[in-house]
Every structure is written in structure tokens, then in C-alpha cells.
Amino acid sequence: MADLLTLFPPGSARDDDGMLTLGGCRADALAEEFGTPVLVVDEPALRARAREYRTELTARWPRSRVVFASKAFPATAVQRVMVEEGLGLDVAGGGEIITALKAGIDPALIVHHGNAKTDDEIALAVEHGVGLVVVDNANDVDRLEASGANVDVLVRVIPGVTADTHAHVLTGHEGSKFGLLPADAAPLIARIERSPRLRMRGLHVHVGSQILDVEPFADSVAPVAALGEFEVYDLGGGLGARYTYADHPPSVPEYLDALIGAAREHLPAEAEIIIEPGRSMVAANAATLYRVVTLKRQFVAVDGGMGDNLEVALFDQRFEAAIAGRLGGGERYTLVGRHCESGDVLVDGVELDAPRVGDLVAVPATGAYCHTMANNYNGNRRIPVVFAGAGEARAVVRRETWDDLLARDV
């Protein structure tokens, strides 16, 4: 049980009767007030993580900034927390620009990504004065020049580093759809430097996501440095999160010791360094509560599933789970969702203590990519997001309604 609690947001505990508490709120009270499934974020823990990243990076490289990778959890309320804690925002599409602006970000602190930016997205970035646009290809340059605006850009470089992670979230290898190999980046950099409109500020690199060792991050710096000296080096994100008992990701200090150590060796001392944590910022600071609907043989089926958590189906991500009022122990079951797919499995083989219809099931580490990839499969209504802290809770994203499902019909 003690090991299980470490997978939930820091400060999570058991109440006197054994009920799980998140942000000081009982799981059963949260389910009663907001329904299930519900994604619960421990707001104080989220803020503490943002501050940890900011202070640890600044201590190692004063001319630096942390930019939250919004795609991990692009709820406006989450983006607003990052803004309030002094972070910038990394966006990967027009919708993330819109929510970032609503969250109160200074547009100059936005970094705009994408391997296939549309004319509309370029226009949106230009209209609102996005601070840095990461050029992924020559077509980006064509569109930016055609906008007629003066734009600060970074060029994304493939470092040729293959990290130990799922192939679907691997981005630093030579076969990546993102960025340019150094031999292709060099002439594009020269073109940008000749442009009357674009300002070549620096380079960007990213090796992937859910990376559980520090070497790939450090190894990605030298290939970028070989392209020359620039004002800005965006060294990306990708630090992994702890989803299971077997996961032991590096701490933020360990990660930054390796990354900034490589930066000191290879990059100009006067340059600005940007990092873009996403998953490691938010994953562990949230949990999802479900209600058991049916029991059959080894299957425990709940009222959510791949509609609110696609990580398992897409990336084979392993999660853990427990009955919220009886944490730890029990027999092994397959925890499945309610959607009409055999792949709708939340946890294949998890110990649950005497599950019964109506029980609450808590799944930790759902803060990254679950809200992002929520969907309406089988007419599913996307679930609410609730912020909890100091025993108080409030909805920051409401549950979808049946009317919402029909709203786009014409």
C-alpha cells in the first residue's frame, strides 16, 4: 500500500477509514460531487513541480527559461498555473495557442511547434506575436516569409540519438518525421539568415518522450552545437514519469545535471537555454476515479476507459490501480473500460481488493496525455477535470453533455 501511494500525487493519503485522499479531498466525496469518471489534479503539487523545474534550471544556467509542453495537458487551467508560476508555454497547434492566450500568457513566451503548420496556424502565430516559431522544414520558411511579418525562429535539428522508449514517442532518430538532419538544416539556416523578415535565433532539439535515463538528453547537445553558435538553444523535454512500481525516472536535478553539464561543455556560455518539460511536469500530479460497473470472470469493468485514457492502446503504457477505499493487496484482475473494443484495457493484471459493483477505482499518474487525447468514441462524453488542494475542490473543465455531442451537427 505504501508503494502504491507513492504513485499518486505527493501528499495523497488514506483517511481514517482507509479512503484515498487527493489534495486533501476524499475520493468518495469527489466522486459524489463531480461524478465519475473524473480526472483529479492536485493543484499544490502541480505548482510545486513547476517551481522545482524553474528554480533548478536557473540555479544551473541563469539565462534560461522553462516552457511547459502544453500538449501533455492543454487545459486552460493547467496552462494558467504554469503562467502564474513563471513558465512559458510550448504549443503545437492553433487550439493550444488560443487556450494559452486565454490562460494569460505573454505571447512573447510562447514557443510554436509543428511538423506541418498550416497557413491558418502561421497567421494566428503572427497575429498574436508568438515569441518563437520552431521551423521544422523549408515549407515553414515559405509560409513565414509569405506572412510579411518579422518573426523570430528556431530550426529543429534531428540529433541522431535513439532513446530507449516506445517507437511512437521517439523523435531524435534519423527516421523521425520531425526536424531536419544536420546536413539539411545547415542550408536552411543560411537561407533564414539571408531573409529580410525572419530572424534566426537558434536551434531546437528533442529526442522523445517517457525517457527514463539521462544519457540521450546529454548526447543530443553536441550534434546541435556542431551547427554553430546562436543566441538560443531549446533542448526540448522528454523526461519520463513514474507510472508503475518498476519505473525509476531521474529526478529533475539529475536530469538537469546531465543536460546542463553537456551544455557547459558544448554551448556558448552567453546563450539562452530553454527546456520543455511536459509529461514529467503533470503525469504524477493527477489521478482518475472510476466506478465499477460490472464483474465477469477476471474482468473488472469501469465507467470509463479508452475514451479518457488512450495511453494504453496507443503506447502500451502500463498503469497501476486500486479500490479507492481498500488500497493495495487482493487478487489479480484485468481492469477494462466500457468501450466497444478489445483493446479498451486500462490495466492488464492488477491487484484489486475484493472489487464490487459500485466501488471506486483510482488510477494514478493520469495527468499526461489523458485529457489531451480524450475522445467521443461510442458517443462517450469527455470527462471533467477537477483541481483539488487543501481539502477544497473545484471543476476547471466540465463534463460534456449530450447537447455537446450534437452541437456541431448542421
- Positions marked catalytic: 340
| Alpha-carbon separation of residue 80 from 89, 227, 255, 332, 385 (angstroms) | 10, 35, 25, 40, 14
What does the DSSP 8-state code read for residue 85? T
Alpha carbon 132 to chain centroid, angstroms:
20
Contact between 274 and 232 (Cβ < 8 Å): yes
C-alpha cell belonging to residue 181 = 538532419
* Euclidean distance between CA atoms 207 and 40, whole angstroms: 30
Taking Cα atoms as reference points, which of 159, 127, 131 lies closest to residue 65?
A: 131
Nearest to 78 by CA among 242, 282, 373: 282
Strand ranges in 175-255 using DSSP code E only, listed in sequence order: 198-204, 232-234
Cis bond upstream, residue 182 (ω within 30): no
For 130-157, the three-class secondary structure string (H helix, E strand, C coil) is CCEEEECCHHHHHHHHHCCCCEEEEEEE
Question: CB within 8 A of 32, min separation 6: which ones?
Answer: none
